[in-house]
Amino acid sequence: MTTSQPGSRFLNREVAQLEFNRRVLAQAENKDTPLLERLKFLCIVSSNLDEFFEVRVAGLKEQINLDTPGFGPDGMLPHEVFKLVSEQTHALVARQYQLLNQEILPGLANEGVRFLRRVAWNDAQREWIKAYFFRELMPVLTPIGLDISHPFPRVLNKSLNFAVELEGKDAFGRSSGSAIVQAPRVLPRVILLPNEISSSEYNFVFLSSILHAHVGELFSGMSVLGCYQFRATRNSDLFVDEEEVKNLRIALQGELPQRHFGNAVRLEVADSCPKHMSDFLLDQLGLSRDDFYQVEGPVNLVRLMQVPDRIERPNLKYPPFIPGLPLTLQKKKAPDIFQMIRKNDILLHHPYQSFQPVIHFLQQAAVDADVVSIKQTVYRTGTDSLIMAALIAAAGRGKEVTVVVELLARFDEEANINWASRLEEVGAHVVYGVVGHKTHAKMAMVVRREEGKLRRYVHVGTGNYHAGTARLYTDFGLFTCNEEVCADVNEVFMQLTGLGKAGKLKYLWQSPFSFHSQMLAAIDNEVQNAKAGKPARIIAKMNALLEPEIIKALYNASGAGVKIDLIVRGVCALRPGIKGLSENIRVRSIIGRFLEHTRIFYFRRGGANDIYLSSADWMDRNFFRRIEICFPVLEAKLKKRVLTEGLNMYLRDNRQAWEMDGNGHYHLKTRRRGKKLCAQEMLLTELAAAKQG
């Protein structure tokens, strides 16, 4: 099935998102992937689908309800997209649970990791579980009987709930026949049984199994006819009118709690749930059968993500690695990071190389008497951050600290609000960017007094200032004290914190001003070279490709003979390899151990071999509704590294590369003979604890 209307030059975004999740699920299907990692990939699919429903499907349903006129770029109407999405998601979820039940759980059981069903509990386990229920569950559970004074509760988004069918009368003579029990989020969804009552090395029990076994204790004197777990997913987009509110942080704090109670968009139930109960739940949530997902197993697979961390079985996980350091930073235990940057620009390739130099850069700045100011953007940094601690320490020491905190970073709003409050408490300047534009650029600037003059040092990157994701996501970060690059970064900070016209930048391309036009110009330059008979080449790596004008420019470049390779991890609306449209364009996606997150743009430009790195994908929002930067790699040695490590290795990958056809379907590129090449494994070998310059 194609992902657009026949003849359309664009593929559908929502269906492309499901194609991406099929590629992630293939990692769980791959028997060469360690078992506990297969379980993680299964959970990642569930997490991705949660956000897909909370945002993309919720948006589709709103368009349908509002009867939004017109077709999308793919030529499809919202109700047509929703029908296709529903069909394909049901098939994807069915395969997900089939894989869980038929391969992963049996495989783990053979390795001594078991998830015990109620019928498999022995007497000792039953006694322990009963005591656990009364000790840990009973005190925090609040059953809600449904009657005229207790209507159906507005269950929290993605919470685990139980619909209970009852018979008999309670102490007040009521006999509504049904109740809802919500499992508080503080309760673990998977419980490890003690060794003394375990029949194998690791015996786990689902919280849902414990509650099913003892739900009758919540309804004294009544008979439980059935107990059925369910989970509702809700629209989680926040609405804050930035033009109207006087204080964005206060407005957002008031809106955040409503995220848990948006309109329902999906209902998940276990396979034991009968039709009359699922019909009742659908009716209460205002959903139809297209929104209904009945699964064979727990409805909250995302919570299984924590299980591998509790199991000490290295043979069931990816081999551990120690991130490396560039040679210039290996020479001393605690090198003077500013001295190192003055000698040469420093390039870090995460997670193969350590994120620690980025932390050290800000920690050293916080205590260095010569540092007078620090400026930084914060999009996602986590709830426990050494970088944020360094900024707080710097402000506490009297340095000028300015932090641009993006309060509207989806699902990180609460953490960012908390950091903003803590920074303000110690005297840091906290600003929230520009109304109507998320600040997504990743940049930090330190100003230091040296020999009577002020010198600027900057770090710019493709990923967040988040030490946790820096071990899981592939990203590049660049340290430089190039005066003109630093001046450009300073100009962007001035725009974010002050008022005035945008100044001209020498090296940086910036959204929403120059990035889109500069990118189109760079593509067109390759077109002109091709038409003049000169070699022309474009290679680009990103998370998503959706912006129509960029896609049209790439089609035009293909028609002119420009050879184009696109490495797009997720959604791609461009149709490659179509005769007369895109025969010179190849699209591939790399899915592996690490989440590919780098954005790299290469243009041959008559042999100049321009390399740009960015925090931005080729999407409308990145070009026009966000503050983004795209920065060049200027030193020849580092250019070569980015071209080799970030692009060419990925184009040679024949183990984790998926090639896309003109209909938006992907095919795993495998090599039966010859050398098998995996970009991520090669980079681990070459960079992790390696002596790279």
- CATH class, domain 325-503, is alpha beta
Asked, colleague to colleague, whether 111-318 and 325-503 share their fold, the answer is no
Residue 672: per-residue pLDDT: 67
pLDDT value at 175 more than 70: no
- Which helix H or strand E contains 692, and what residues bound it? strand 691-692
DSSP state at residue 464:
-
On the question of pLDDT at 244 being above 50, the answer is no
**Mean pLDDT of all residues belonging to the chain:** 90
Dump pLDDT digits (tens) for 119-149. Answer: 999 999 999 999 999 999 999 998 988 875 5
Residue 351 scores a pLDDT above 80 = yes
Q: How far apart are CA 334 and CA 467, in angstroms?
A: 19
Number of Cβ within a 10 Å radius of residue 650: 26
pLDDT attached to residue 113: 96
Predicted confidence (pLDDT) per residue in 355-370, tens digit = 999 999 999 999 999 9
CA dist 533 and 555 (Å) reads: 18
Q: Which of 45, 33, 198 is nearest to 107 (CA)?
A: 33
Q: Residues 595-627: pLDDT tens digits?
A: 999 999 999 999 999 999 999 999 999 999 999
CATH number among 3.30.429.10, 3.40.50.720, 2.40.370.10, 1.20.58.310, domain 1-106? 1.20.58.310
| pLDDT reported for residue 332 | 61
Residue range 111-318 forms a domain whose CATH class is alpha beta
pLDDT digits (tens, 9 = 90+) for 208-239: 999 999 999 999 888 899 999 999 999 876 44
335 or 348, greater pLDDT: 348
Residues above pLDDT 90, as percent of the chain: 75
Res 10 pLDDT > 70: yes
Extended beta strands in 168-220, E state: 178-182, 190-192, 202-206
CB 404 within 8 A of CB 437: no
Which amino acid is located at 559 in the chain? G
For residues 57-77, give the mean pLDDT. Answer: 86
Q: Kindly report whether the peptide bond that precedes residue 351 is cis, defined as omega within 30 degrees of 0.
A: yes
Higher-confidence residue: 567 or 406? 567
241: pLDDT strictly greater than 70: no
Tell me what pLDDT residue 693 has. 40
Burial of 509 (0-12, 13-18, 19+ CB in 10 A): buried
**More confident site: 478 or 7:** 478
Class of 510-692 in CATH: alpha beta
Per annotation, catalytic residue among 350, 440, 466, 516: 440
* Residue 440: active-site member: yes
Is 476:346 a contact under the CB 8 Å cutoff?
A: no
pLDDT in tens, 497-540: 887 677 789 999 999 999 999 999 999 999 999 999 999 999 99
Q: What is the pLDDT of residues 414-456, one digit of tens each?
A: 776 787 888 889 888 888 877 788 889 999 999 999 999 999 9
Q: Does the pLDDT value for residue 171 go beyond 70?
A: no
Question: CA–CA separation, 387 vs 525, rounded Å?
Answer: 40
pLDDT at 150 over 80: no
- Give the model's pLDDT for residue 2: 52
Residue 270's pLDDT is what? Answer: 95
Region 298-326 average pLDDT: 94
Helix or strand or coil: residue 362?
Answer: helix
pLDDT at residue 252, rounded to an integer = 42
List the domain boundaries for the chain. 1-106, 111-318, 325-503, 510-692
